[in-house]
Amino acid sequence: MIPKIAVVGPESTGKSTMSEYLAAHYNTIAVPEYSREYCANLVGECTFQDEINMFHGQLALEKTLLPLANKILICDTTFLTVKIWSEEVFGNAPQEVLDELPRHPYDFYLLLDIDLPWQDDPLRNFPTKRQYFMNIWHRELQALNADYTVISGLGQDRYDNAVKAVDGFINRQLSEPEF
């Protein structure tokens, strides 16, 4: 089984750039964030049905790209984002997302810290709520009993910290006895 490494966090923390960097570093593939392209093509405001569509799109993209992975799969965010955004914007999350969360785990999460400066982007909405969302990410990952590490730092230090965390995860996996 190929381990899935999820790169997650609040807006403007470098998730896409980090995912591409890690994929190149480990000579594997990164699953892009499905919702970025989806939202870029939306006409009007995002609806609850759009969130459900993004959930299905992210899962389908991961399933399509998993066979192309080399030993690990890097995922630029996960459908957990759909839960977080839906609860924030609509007051609740789609039931099918809630049902799927425990059945679709990732092996290791890199939670990118909010220590990077905010970068404006038409698809970003909450420049003043980064700490709020960082707290939500911690809570959600803890609720899943997820194995995760917070990645901080600027420039190459941030990338080096991520590689160190992934290497540590891989080494723990290799040292665990198989049953």
Per the model's pLDDT, the better-predicted residue between 109 and 36 turns out to be: 109
* Domain containing residue 70: 4-175
Count of Cβ atoms closer than 10 Å to residue 14 Cβ? 20
pTM: 0.91
Which residue, among 51, 58, 61, has the nearest Cα to 85 in the 3D structure? 51
The CATH number of residue 37's host domain is 3.40.50.300
Beta carbons of 30 and 19 less than 8 angstroms apart:
yes
| pLDDT over 70, % of the chain | 93
pLDDT digits (tens, 9 = 90+) for 12-45: 899 999 999 999 999 999 999 888 788 777 777 8
Q: Is 16 helix (H, G, I), strand (E, B) or coil?
A: helix
The total of structural domains in the chain comes to 1
8 A C-beta contact, residue 86 and residue 51: yes
Confidence of residue 158 (pLDDT cuts 50, 70, 90): very high
- The candidate with the shortest Cα–Cα distance to 54, out of 25, 84, 28, 74, is 84
